[in-house]
Structure 1
Amino acid sequence: MPLNAKATQEFVPIKEVRDGVIVLKDGGLRAIVLANSVNLSLKSDDEQKATILQFQSFINTLDFAVQISIQSRRLDIRPYLLLLEERVKIQNEPLLKLQTKEYIEFIRNFTDSVAIMTKSFFVIIPYTHTVLKSDSGIFKRLFGGKSKEGVRLAQQEDFEEKRSQLEERVSVIQQGLSRCGIKSAELGTEEIVEVFYKVFNPGEVEGKIKLE
């Protein structure tokens, strides 16, 4: 009996990534904020308590749900090794050239035996609103079911309105994180695509997205 295999894309709820916003198939919007980590072990007991209480207060003040995702990846050390090898080629001092070669070999052996992991912390911020469809009654009444340009403009206006509401939530999240001593940055379109590329291609070794 033949199997009707479905494309992976059919199982992904994402319709498109547009202007730094994820548009879902059900009309919902999502934004992604990249946050750095805070090493509590380097803080005093009082500082730890203050940070935890501030974060607790921040979470309790939210009137919408958020999702926190942590991605662990093996760090790709190859670009760094290639850079060192290029420097070996232009190094004229024999002793420095030898030391650099030994250092390259040490790094290569070390990373082969120990997996160096990098972690990325993401906050996914949602906004869901009534979806306006081109064949809905409101569009038919407004445009008589004829003006495609009118429908397109109305859909664009609806998107911008929802995006504005989403950006307000992003601002709330970033301000709350800042009060906890956590730096953050909202991801743009290319960075969001990169995140999902890594999710769906876990076998590939990549570097981490960096905060400016």
Structure 2
Amino acid sequence: MLAIIVIIAFFGLIGVMGFVVYRQLQKTDPTKMDTSVGDNISSAQEFLPFEDIRDKMILLGAHRYRAVIECSSTNYNLKTDGEKVMIESSFQRFINSISFPITFYIQTKVIDNSKMLEALKEEIETSMKVFPQLKEYGSLYFNEMAGLSSYIGNNKQKKKYIIVPYDEAVNLTDLSDSEKYEFSANELRNRASIIVEGLSGVDVKARILDTKDLAELVFSSYHKDNYTHVENIVNGEFLTLLTQGENNHLEKMTEDARLDWILYEAQMRIQTELLNAQVPDFMKKTFDDSIRELDVLRDKTSGYYKQRDVAYNQSSDLIDNEGNNSANSIQE
């Protein structure tokens, strides 16, 4: 009797183990694997970390919004020592004046010339109807432009952005959702305008991205043709042209230096905000004259940084001349 019980228990254990193995094999069967797709998901939009893009804003949900500003570059390394000090001072004052957080975002992506080439092809075809004798030249020109990236050895495009947030609308408990939206949109536009105006003082052209540009930026962030930008992060390329701002120029700036800096910043703002705007030619001439008059005024008042640059250049030339003379004497 005991032997029968043991045999039944043994076969029962084998049956349980067999069932467990069978269930595990079912889970690993490719045709029956769980795809984790729920019936309640209606579109891919639900996987994205934002609700919508409209009115020049990215809507993150829960009354959180983002505006994005595209910024140009300034040739910092080509500036004189005096101009570098003034640029750093203007940027320092700009950063100190901001009362809300911002994020600097640098995006590197492969240049897409498809739209440009398509427009060029249409222009060439239109021109060929009037000048058919230039057909060979037009074809050659199009092929050269199509392979321009390979000729210059660079098909990457690096753009700089500043992301401006507004998350405080959740605290406006007395307003409706639509009122919170309107209030947030106005506040975000004001913040972005402050950034654009502040950057003009350091000769950086900035513009607030519209809805179409925002959609393109987000799309390009999710669809990159390659991942070579990771190497740029590792080797520090993204940080090579960023200054640390270790010196507090505003704290030790003299009155002469401050006056020259203010006049220089006025020149930069005229050049950035007015000369680049769509204005008639006679107005541009007026702006050019204003920049020259400010330059003359800098010379008359103090010209602090200009004088320092001249003195530095003269001393450098003197050292070079003395070095050349010494070398010539040794050779003789």
Normalised to the residue count of structure 1, the TM-score between the two structures is 0.71
CA pair 87-76 structure 1, distance change in 2 beyond 3 A:
farther
Q: Does 1:102 align with 2:140?
A: yes
- Which of 83, 87, 91 matches 1:55? 91
**Is residue 75 of structure 2 the alignment partner of residue 43 of structure 1?**
no
Please provide the CA RMSD for this pair.
Answer: 3.2
Determine if contact 1:88/1:101 at 8 Å carries over to the other structure: no
Structure 2 letter corresponding to 1:101: S
Q: 1:126, CA displacement in angstroms?
A: 0.6
Shift of 1:185: 1.5
- In structure 1, distance between residues paired with 2:197 and 2:54: 24
Which 5+ residue runs of structure 2 have no aligned equivalent?
A: 1-26, 28-33, 227-276, 279-332
SS at match of 1:131: helix
Matches within 5 A, 1:154-165: 154-165=176-187
For residues 73-93 of structure 1, give each alpha carbon's deviation from its aligned partner in whole angstroms, at most 9, with x where no partner exists. 222334444425526733637
Picking from 220, 226, 235, the partner of 1:198 is 220
1:115 to 150, 154, 163: 154
| Structure 1 letter corresponding to 2:68 | I
1:15 is displaced (CA, Å) by: 1.4
Paired residue type of 1:103: Y
The alignment status of 1:131 with 2:180, answered yes or no, reads no
Which deviates more, 165-174 or 111-120? 111-120
Q: Does 1:172 align with 2:200?
A: no
The count of residues paired between Structure 1 and Structure 2 equals: 188
Q: Deviations over 1:7-47 (max 9, x none)?
A: 76445331122322222123211111122221223322322
CA distance in 2, matches of 1:154, 1:44: 54
Residues 1:67 and 2:103 are matched in the alignment = yes
Inter-partner Cα distance in structure 1 for 2:186 and 2:141: 51
Structure 1 92/183 Cα, relative in aligned 2: closer, same or farther at 3 Å? same
Instruction: Quote the Cα distance in structure 1 between the aligned partners of 2:112 and 2:225.
Output: 12
* Seq. identity, %: 27
TM-score of the superposed pair, with normalisation by structure 2: 0.48
Q: Could you list the per-position Cα deviations for residues 106-138 of structure 1 after superposition, in whole angstroms to 9, with x for gaps in the alignment?
A: 3344434633322222111011125389xxxx7
Does the residue aligned with 1:65 lie in a helix, a strand or coil?
coil
Pick closer, same or farther for the CA change 1:108–1:20 going to 2, 3 Å: closer
**Secondary structure at the residue paired with 2:170?**
coil
Which segment is superposed worse, 85-94 or 184-193?
Answer: 85-94
Determine the C-alpha separation between the residues in 2 that align with 1:126 and 1:58: 17
CA contact (8 A) 1:132 1:155 kept: no
Q: Is the 8 A contact 1:13 1:24 kept in 2?
A: yes
Contact persistence 1:74–1:115 (CA under 8 A): no
Instruction: Give 5+ residue unaligned stretches, structure 1.
Output: 140-152, 205-210
Report the counterpart of residue 187 of structure 1 in structure 2: 209
Greater strand proportion:
1
Distance 1:191 1:104 in 2: 27
What letter is aligned with 1:57?
R
More helix by percentage: 2
What is the deviation of 1:67? Answer: 0.8
Describe the shift of the 1:23–1:53 C-alpha distance in structure 2 as closer, same or farther (beyond 3 A). Answer: same
How far apart in 2 are the matches of 1:167 and 1:43? 32
